[in-house]
């Protein structure tokens, strides 16, 4: 038996000289899937007196980290540069006063900072924890946000929506039977699906340093993610 909550509405819509009777029902569907991709990013920042020197130091450190990433089996398509920045470094020098005459302070160029951030997708989850831990021992300044997600999320969302539609259809058939009416067709459809909240593992600069002496790779269970679809279908009845 449908509850009052499940019966969303019975309405009458006027079209020129005729009335269209409608009913609206809600349907809900859930699909659960195990994440199959792990994603994290890391940043290398180097400072030197010249841009060329900073770039050289940054490139050497990045290449060392990327070598470890590729050695773990990560494909080139799953390695992406998120940002590459070159910024001047200034030190502020206080003004000097002598014989009641003060020279104003000024900013003095002392060098340049080169920073590059890389994002990595790991499709072999059995290697995600080991790789995530090993990157921190290669001198990178930050290793951020190991998170798990579903590669083909649209397929999971479609399964949830199909279940929600089926739920709504069954409710509509039962409601029409109880009301003694027939369903003519659909007049409107609305779908709202939630986004999965990925499980995150963070590691900042301080943690990166401590990872240098870590002997055991961190355990990072992927868990599971659930997609929920809520649909509202309005039917014309007679």
Check pLDDT > 70 for residue 201.
Answer: no
pLDDT in tens, 95-143: 777 777 777 778 889 999 999 999 999 999 888 888 888 887 787 878 8
Place of tokens 């990166």: 208
Q: How confident is the model at residue 86 (pLDDT cuts 50, 70, 90)?
A: very high
Q: What percent of the chain has pLDDT over 70?
A: 80
Check pLDDT > 80 for residue 182.
Answer: yes
* pLDDT computed for residue 220 by the predictor: 57
* pLDDT computed for residue 211 by the predictor: 38
More confident residue, 104 or 155: 155
pLDDT in tens, 214-223: 334 455 566 7
For the ranges 14-18, 107-111, 194-198, 207-211, the one whose mean pLDDT is highest: 107-111
Q: Whole-angstrom Cα distance, residue 15 to residue 235?
A: 15
Could you tell me the CA-to-CA distances from 8 to 37, 73, 95, 177 in Å, in that order? 39, 52, 74, 16
Contact between residue 41 and residue 120 where contact means Cβ atoms under 8 Å apart? yes
Q: What percent of the chain has pLDDT over 90?
A: 50
Could you tell me the CA-to-CA distances from 218 to 110, 127, 214 in Å, in that order? 40, 11, 9
Name the β-bridge partners of 156.
none
Residues 6+ apart with CB under 8 A from 17: none
More confident residue, 237 or 93: 237
Q: How confident is the model at residue 8 (pLDDT cuts 50, 70, 90)?
A: very low
Percentages helix, strand, coil for the chain, rounded to the nearest 5?
30, 45, 25
Q: How confident is the model at residue 34 (pLDDT cuts 50, 70, 90)?
A: confident
* pLDDT computed for residue 225 by the predictor: 84
Rounded to an integer, the average pLDDT of 51-71 is 93
* pLDDT computed for residue 128 by the predictor: 85
Mean model confidence pLDDT for the chain: 81
Taking the complete model, does pTM exceed 0.85, yes or no? Answer: no
């Amino acid at each position: 038996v449908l509850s009052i909550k499940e019966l969303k509405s019975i309405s009458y819509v006027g079209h020129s000289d005729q009335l269209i009777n409608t009913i609206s029902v809600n349907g809900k569907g859930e699909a659960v899937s195990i994440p199959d991709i792990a994603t994290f990013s890391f940043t290398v920042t180097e400072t030197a007196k010249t841009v060329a020197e900073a770039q050289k130091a940054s490139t050497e450190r990045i290449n060392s980290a990327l070598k470890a990433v590729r050695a773990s089996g990560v494909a080139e398509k799953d390695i992406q540069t998120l940002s590459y920045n070159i910024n001047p470094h200034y030190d502020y020098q206080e003004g000097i006063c002598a014989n009641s005459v003060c020279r104003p302070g000024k900013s003095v160029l002392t060098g340049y900072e080169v920073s590059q951030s890389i994002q990595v997708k790991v499709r072999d989850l059995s290697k995600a924890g080991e790789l995530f831990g090993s990157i921190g021992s290669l001198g990178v300044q930050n290793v951020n946000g190991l998170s798990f997600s579903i590669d083909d999320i649209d397929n999971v969302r479609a399964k949830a929506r199909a279940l929600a539609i089926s739920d709504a259809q069954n409710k509509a058939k039962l409601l029409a039977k109880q009301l003694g009416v027939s369903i003519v067709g659909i007049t409107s459809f609305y779908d709202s699906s939630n986004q999965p909240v990925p499980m995150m593992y963070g590691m900042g600069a301080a943690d990166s340093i401590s990872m240098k002496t870590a002997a055991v790779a961190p355990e990072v269970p992927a868990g599971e993610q659930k997609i929920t679809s809520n649909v509202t279908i309005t039917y014309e009845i007679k």
